[in-house]
Amino acid sequence: METKKVLIVEDEMIIAMLIERMVTNMGHQVIDKVSSGEDAINKALEHSPDLILMDIRLKGEIDGIDAMCKIQEKMKIPVIYISGNSDLAHLEKIEMTDYIDFLSKPITQSDLSKSFNVAS
């Protein structure tokens, strides 16, 4: 499997670090970790990652779903949502974006690995 450049968008630093470790353990490269929707949009446009791991509730004005809508207007980058919010409203809203998977926190490396395999 080829190495993917991954952008992690997660407002809790400890969780972001755990996800980063999982991604690097699977042999992929984390190009950045950001905690707000605004930063996610800027970094995605700057680095054009192969994949974005996106939390839904973020710091700042823009949530993860709105951030992905804005990113995908400009470039086609697949996303895996990782969130503690699996309520129906969020699940319906993510349908507006082109996403690979939705993982409920807490996640394991095997959950993430399965989603990455779908992405490749």
The chain-wide mean pLDDT, for the chain, equals 94
- CB-neighbour burial class of residue 40 (10 A; exposed 0-12, middle 13-18, buried 19+): buried
pLDDT by residue (tens digit) across 76-109? Answer: 999 999 998 778 888 899 998 999 999 999 999 9
- pTM value is 0.94
Say if strands 5-9 and 29-34 run parallel, antiparallel, or are unpaired.
Answer: parallel
In CATH terms, the superfamily for domain 5-112 is Response regulator (3.40.50.2300)
> Rounded to an integer, what distance in angstroms lies between the CA atom of residue 111 and that of residue 96?
23
Give me the residue spans of the domains in the chain.
5-112
The predicted-structure confidence for 52-76, as pLDDT tens digits, reads as follows 999 999 999 999 999 999 999 999 9
pLDDT tens digits along 23-56: 999 999 999 999 999 999 999 999 999 999 999 9
On the question of pLDDT at 8 being above 80, the answer is yes
Q: Answer yes or no: are the C-beta atoms of 89 and 116 closer than 8 Å.
A: no
C-alpha span between 69 and 76 (Å, rounded)? 10
